[in-house]
Copies of this chain bind each other. A is one copy, B any other.
Amino acid sequence: MLYPFGPYYISRAVEVFYSTKLTLAVVNLRPVAHHHVLVFPRRPVARFADLVEAEVADLWLSAQRIGSRIEAHGRKRGVSGLQFVIQDGVGSGQTVPHVHVHIVPRTPGDFTPNDAIYGALEKRGFHADETERPDRSRDEMREERDELAALFPEAEYQVP
């Protein structure tokens, strides 16, 4: 099963670890931190303003749930906070024309200075000009996908 993410297609087997009727969540090709994930509406719209109410609510209830479980899952590795970011519109650094929420688990000392994480966010992700870091292998992503999917055992979050 493949799902559109802007001009890309995302695979259930390799990337998608969570789904509802309106929302998907995926592991990242070039994460800036361990378990840095993306949450987005199934409907491929570019701007946050273009989502209908039900999509906004489901997107952010999903982001809340996913962030919370990923943080709890990472606590023994030292995760103690999350960043939620939408780059909305080309002028803000958005590179994929499909609304998406970055969720980045934070551990003390992971980025120095602390805000260097945002530079990393702009340089990686699904950027065509990425040169600092190669794409991850499909096996590596699949393994993380399976690990994260296990945090959502409820039937309502299973990926078709």
Task: Spell out A's residues near B (CB within 8 Å).
Answer: 48-49, 51, 53, 56-57, 59-61, 64, 67-68, 71, 79-94, 104, 106-108, 113-115, 117-119, 121-122
Chain B residue nearest to A62 in the complex (CB): B56
B91 touches A84 (CB 8 A): no
On whether A91 and B67 interact (CB within 8 A), knowing A57-B57, A115-B122, A118-B115, the answer reads: no
B61 touches A48 (CB 8 A): no
Known: A48-B82, A48-B84, A57-B57. 17 other contacts (CB 8 A): A48-B68, A49-B67, A51-B64, A57-B60, A80-B89, A80-B91, A81-B94, A83-B85, A84-B85, A84-B86, A85-B86, A89-B106, A91-B107, A93-B114, A113-B119, A115-B122, A118-B118
Chain B residues in 8 Å Cβ range of A82: 48, 86, 88-89, 92
Contact of A81 among B80, B84, B92 (CB under 8 A): B92
A69 to chain B, nearest CB (A): 9
Chain B residues in 8 Å Cβ range of A91: 79-81, 106-108
B68 touches A60 (CB 8 A): no
B83 touches A87 (CB 8 A): yes
Chain B residues in 8 Å Cβ range of A107: 91
Roughly how many angstroms separate A93 CA and B104 CA in the complex, as a whole number? 12
Q: 9 nearest interchain CB pairs?
A: A81-B89, A81-B91, A118-B118, A81-B92, A80-B91, A57-B57, A49-B68, A84-B86, A91-B106
